[in-house]
Amino acid sequence: MMGKREAVKAILEGKGADRIPIIMNAFSLPVMRYGYTMPEALMSPEKMTKCMVGTRRELGYDGLCAGVYGGIAMMMGGHLPNSEGAISGNGEDVIHSMDDIKKLRPYNVDECMAMKTLLKTIELMREEEPDEPIYVILHVPAAVAFTLMGAKPAFKAMIKNQELFKALCDHVEDAVVESCKVLVDAGVDFLWFPMPNFGGFCISRKSYEKCISESNIRANKRIKDYGAKIVIHTCGLYDDRFDLVLKESGDAWHISDTQTKKVKDEYGDKVSLMGNIPCCSVLMEGTEEEVYQFAYQECMDGARDGRFILSGDCDVSPLTPDENVIAAVRAAKDAEKVLFG
């Protein structure tokens, strides 16, 4: 049987593996399980490593999330006032015109404290668990632009001022690509790009096509050319725009709010899949048996060609009972036996 990192690599390269990695995308669960606050864990490589490794071992899933990288908006726009006139330091809600873009500071990844913390975390995790896949959550240029503009102004710009939104995406693209290169050099197994604000719960396919697609296609290609493996998290309704996401060169899609079988049938020969146990209605609220049955079926629907990673459909809630996570792990192991002997 392949090792875990080897299996994830094979899946993301579209070759298929002889096992089903169970990467539960549990971020807030380990942090809260160990009694930390989010900022506390994000600022301490030791605490982050302790809770991620500890929870993974206790519950039996695979993979370690080294953290969420928000350093770009912080470094470029943290000095600017937001729409309420306050300087929050996080770079949220600070760009509302073309002139504002000129006020952004240059990005220097080597001087970014958040990146230094993240790199230290990756180093500690790798020492602790050399065989576990490590990934980092970070944002595509459009998501960084969304943060810098603030949710409401960004949504409005996607309809009324698309040039502004696109100009901001272009402006931050180099910063995203540079950050990804540093993380690849640090040895992460894949980069995980969440896109919760660009699905059908929020914007139309037309807006996606006009404001998001072009930037994602270009940036992801640059990131992949450097050797990164990319998992695109289509968080929300993407059924009407998977064909657009397909052009964005993701090595896998971490899907949600859809049916794995349906996506597998339509796109399974072109992209590997990750997902898709509903984190709230099944993992958190379901019984152990319901979780087992759902997870087992996910594996049977998604993993026949060995190109599937079992996961929740988003971040696993800290309120999720341990036995439910363990049931999902058991289901994947049982499915593995049936599918791969």
Partner 1 sequence: MSSKEELLQRLSDGVVDMEEDDVAEAAQEYLDAGYPAFDGIMEGLVDGMNRASQLYEEEEYFVTDVLLCSDAMYAGLDILRPHLPEVSNDDKITGIIGVVEGDTHDIGKNLVKIMLETAGFNMIDLGRDVPLTQFVERAKEHNADFVCMSTLMTTTMGGMETVIHLLEEAGLRDKVKVMIGGGPISQKYADKIGADGYSQNAVEAVKLAKRLLNIA
Contact status: 210 vs partner 1 (CB under 8 A): no
Per-residue tokens: 221: 């290609």
Closest approach of partner 1 to the CB of residue 47, in Å: 16
Task: Give the span between the Cα atoms of 85 and 32, in whole angstroms.
Answer: 32
- 68 near partner 1 (CB under 8 A): no
Beta bridge partners of 190: 135
Residue closer to partner 1 by CB (options 90, 123) is: 90
What number of residues does the chain have?
341
- Report the side by side order of strands in the sheet with 190-194: 64-69, 134-138, 190-194, 230-234, 252-255, 272-277, 308-312
Count of chain residues binding partner 1 (CB under 8 A)? 25
Choices 57-65, 77-85, 195-203, 226-234 (CB under 8 A): range interacting with partner 1 = 195-203
Q: Which residues contact 127 (CB under 8 A, 6 or more apart)?
A: none
Q: Is position 321 an interface residue for partner 1 (rule: CB under 8 A)?
A: no
189 lies in the site for partner 1, by CB under 8 A: no
Token duo for residue 269: 């020969």
Among 18, 100, 285, 288, binds partner 1 (CB under 8 A): 285
Residue 133 or 199 having the CB closest to partner 1: 199
> Which among 49-57, 71-79, 274-282, 293-301 is the span making contact with partner 1, rule CB under 8 A?
274-282
Question: Is residue 40 packed enough to be buried (19+ CB in 10 Å), middle (13-18) or exposed (0-12)?
Answer: middle
Contact call for residue 28 and partner 1 (CB under 8 A)? yes
Stretch that binds partner 1, among 40-48, 58-66, 152-160, 244-252 (CB under 8 A): 152-160
The reply on whether position 160 binds partner 1 by CB under 8 A is yes
Question: Residue 152, exposed/middle/buried by CB under 10 A (0-12, 13-18, 19+)?
Answer: exposed
Quick one: which segment of 54-62, 109-117, 149-157, 296-304 binds partner 1 (CB under 8 A)? 149-157
Least distance in Å: CB of 318 to partner 1? 6
In this structure, are residues 172 and 154 in contact, taking their beta carbons and an 8 Å threshold?
Answer: no
> How far apart are the C-alpha atoms of 286 and 271, rounded to whole Å?
29
Cis peptide before 220 (omega within 30 of 0): no
Q: Which of 81, 204, 270, 289 binds partner 1 (CB under 8 A)?
A: 204
Comparing CB distances to partner 1, the nearer of 97 and 281 is: 281
Which position has the token pair 């300087």?
Answer: 87
Closer to partner 1 at the Cβ: 297 or 317? 317
Report how far apart the first and last C-alpha atoms of the chain are (Å, whole number). 10
List contacts with partner 1 (CB under 8 A).
28, 32, 38, 151-152, 155-156, 158-160, 200-204, 207, 279-281, 284-285, 315, 317-319
